[in-house]
Structure 1
Amino acid sequence: MILEAVDYQSPTAAKDFVESLRQTGFGVLKNHPIPKQRVSDIYKHWEDFFNGQDKKTYLYDKNTQDGFFPTSVSEIAKGFKKKDIKEYYHYYPWGKCPAELKNEIHSYYESTSDLARELLNWIEEQSPEDVSRHYREPLSNMIKDSEQTLLRILHYPPLKGDEEPDAIRAAAHEDINLITILPSANEPGLQVKAKDGSWLDVPCDFGNLIVNIGDMLQEASGHYFPSTTHRVVNPEGTDTSKARISLPLFLHPRPDVVLSDNYTADSYLKERLRELGVV
């Protein structure tokens, strides 16, 4: 199976995109409204930030989860013992952010959140009636006025050769939220697990937008939409000297949103954060 990019401008875009999500948990969009140059500029400016020393003045707050997370506190994926080889910054509109980076990253946050609302509408419109009745409110409404939606700027540093055995840039995991929107990274490495257990390379043509289902949408849809396992593998050969930047926007519902008989968004998030060991 190959993940094909769906043309956002196509008259059948919504149908094709949601069908890809249904079959693989992932959808890839081309000709979408997020400019490539904006993404490229963000990658460059934040790589400069990660390569500097100022990042240490923005250390994360354990209670609010905003700010800079160094490699020493990187996540350990559920079921794994080794930390991922990465550092990252959590941007929320209400959180701390370097002044010189704020306007650019906030503009991206806003425009990508707008696109996410449209994609959530596509998902709802294309859901069969017996799936739609699981939604306690319109999917796009679940993120309205949410202060939980998170933009994570991820930096995978060049590999030095002294990494722990079996440690990789991002071990196999599922996302917690409703959907994740991710511009193609500056380097390849993202893979998704197919139904037969094999790993598929996600198309990394710069300018593509990658969208995947998270656990909360899986829960809210009665498991109709699969939260698919994915990972970022280490590069090989000369590519080990290259850093990798990526920019996932995790669309989180308001804490009060009811996902199912078993969970609110708040109870689900807290359970998963405890499992990850970050709270």
Structure 2
Amino acid sequence: MNVLVVDYRDPEAPARFTESLRTTGFGVLKNHPIPQSLVESIYSEWLAFFDTEAKHRYAFSRETQDGFFSTAISETAKGHKLKDIKEYFHIYPLGRYPAEVSDTARRYYAIANDVARELLSWVDANTPAQVKARFSMPLSNMIADSTKTLLRVLRYPPLTGDEPAGAIRAAAHEDINLLTVLPAANEPGLQVKDSVGNWHDVPCDFGTLVINTGDMLQEASGGYYPSTTHRVVNPTGEGRFKSRVSLPLFLHPRDEVVLSERHTALSYLDERLRELGVKN
């Protein structure tokens, strides 16, 4: 599986990036406009926050899906029985935000959202006309003024040895949204599954940006853009004693956006959240 690493500044970047999404569901950008210093600041600050009891003051809401999700209520990937070994905080434009940290994550949200809109424009411009005709509107318009685009500050804690047999940091899954924008994490572990069932490490040199297709784009494109299965595996050696922090931005359309004949963005999201067990 050849996930392309594309130079954002290359005139051919839009076409090459879109082709990588089409063939693998993933693409990696280097020399992108998101400041690495901002990303590293968030990693450092939020890792410290996750080590405090203050995080429990923001226990997640089933209604709004914002706030802190502990390891005890972490997601169980669709089709799996064991919870992922992770904890995370959901940040929405109108959601809660911890007073114990600075506004760096909010600033990152705005910058990454602008980059994401550009990437959706790249995809739109390089999608064949017969596939593009399926879109109810240009892809970048789907997320304009959306309150559902989600920034997840995600921590995979060090392993203790007491984890349930077979549990991993993030079991094999697909994302729900249009695209996921992810700065390379501070530790390795992200893998993608190819069409014959083999797993491959995703190129994720520190400072690069990893983007993958979600189920909503697969739905809207009639399967032209695959929502590829991926996972985060448990570390070995000294890596077992380190936290892994990750910062995915999940691009969600406005609720009323039509994805296909059978789904709006809201109906699709509600269906998937019930499957994950985080919404009644």
Shorter-chain-normalised TM-score: which range? over 0.9
Task: Provide the rounded CA distance (Å) in 2 between the counterparts of 1:11 and 1:122.
Answer: 12
Task: Provide the rounded CA distance (Å) in 2 between the counterparts of 1:63 and 1:200.
Answer: 36
Secondary structure of 2:257's partner? coil
Secondary structure of 1:216's partner? helix
Note the C-alpha offset of 1:3.
2.3
1:2/1:200 contact within 8 Å kept = no
- RMSD of equivalent CA atoms: 0.8
| Structure 2 partner of 1:108 | 108
2:2/2:24 contact within 8 Å kept = no
Q: Deviations over 1:81-112 (max 9, x none)?
A: 00000000001121111135352111100010
Q: Deviations over 1:39-98 (max 9, x none)?
A: 000000000000111101111111101000000000000000000000000011211111
Q: Deviations over 1:119-141 (max 9, x none)?
A: 00000100001000000011000
Secondary structure of 1:82's partner? coil
Q: Deviations over 1:119-166 (max 9, x none)?
A: 000001000010000000110000011100000000000000000000
| Structure 2 partner of 1:92 | 92
Task: Provide the rounded CA distance (Å) in 1 between the counterparts of 2:13 and 2:150.
Answer: 26
| Counterpart AA for 1:18 | T
| Structure 1 partner of 2:187 | 187
Note the C-alpha offset of 1:18.
0.3
| Structure 2 partner of 1:256 | 256
| Structure 2 partner of 1:231 | 231
Percentage identity across aligned positions? 62
1:67/1:89 contact within 8 Å kept = yes
| Structure 2 partner of 1:176 | 176
5+ unaligned residues in a row in structure 1: which ranges? none
| Counterpart AA for 1:135 | F
Q: Deviations over 1:147-200 (max 9, x none)?
A: 000000000000000000000000000000000000000000000011221111
| Structure 1 partner of 2:24 | 24
Instruction: After the TM superposition, list the runs of 4 or more consecutive aligned residues in structure 1 that deviate by more than 6 angstroms.
Output: none
| Counterpart AA for 2:249 | L
| Structure 2 partner of 1:54 | 54
Q: Does residue 139 in structure 1 map to residue 143 in structure 2?
A: no
Note the C-alpha offset of 1:203.
1.2
| Counterpart AA for 2:86 | K
Report how many aligned residue pairs link the two structures.
279
| Structure 1 partner of 2:10 | 10
Task: Provide the rounded CA distance (Å) in 1 between the counterparts of 2:135 and 2:115.
Answer: 20
Task: Provide the rounded CA distance (Å) in 1 between the counterparts of 2:196 and 2:39.
Answer: 34
2:153/2:246 contact within 8 Å kept = yes
1:183/1:208 contact within 8 Å kept = yes
Q: How does 1:116-155 map to 2 (within 5 A)?
A: 116-155=116-155
Task: Provide the rounded CA distance (Å) in 1 between the counterparts of 2:144 and 2:17.
Answer: 23
Secondary structure of 1:181's partner? strand
Query: What's the TM-score once normalised by structure 2's chain length?
Result: 0.98
Q: Deviations over 1:190-234 (max 9, x none)?
A: 000112211110112100000000000000011100000000000
Task: Provide the rounded CA distance (Å) in 2 between the counterparts of 1:93 and 1:278.
Answer: 20
Q: How does 1:52-91 map to 2 (within 5 A)?
A: 52-91=52-91
| Structure 2 partner of 1:159 | 159
Secondary structure of 1:54's partner? helix
| Counterpart AA for 2:112 | T
| Structure 2 partner of 1:245 | 245
Task: Provide the rounded CA distance (Å) in 2 between the counterparts of 1:84 and 1:47.
Answer: 18
Task: Provide the rounded CA distance (Å) in 2 between the counterparts of 1:85 and 1:275.
Answer: 18
5+ unaligned residues in a row in structure 2: which ranges? none
Q: How does 1:203-214 map to 2 (within 5 A)?
A: 203-214=203-214
Note the C-alpha offset of 1:238.
1.7
Structure 1 range deviating more: 194-203 or 11-20 = 194-203
| Counterpart AA for 1:91 | I
Query: What's the TM-score once normalised by structure 1's chain length?
Result: 0.99
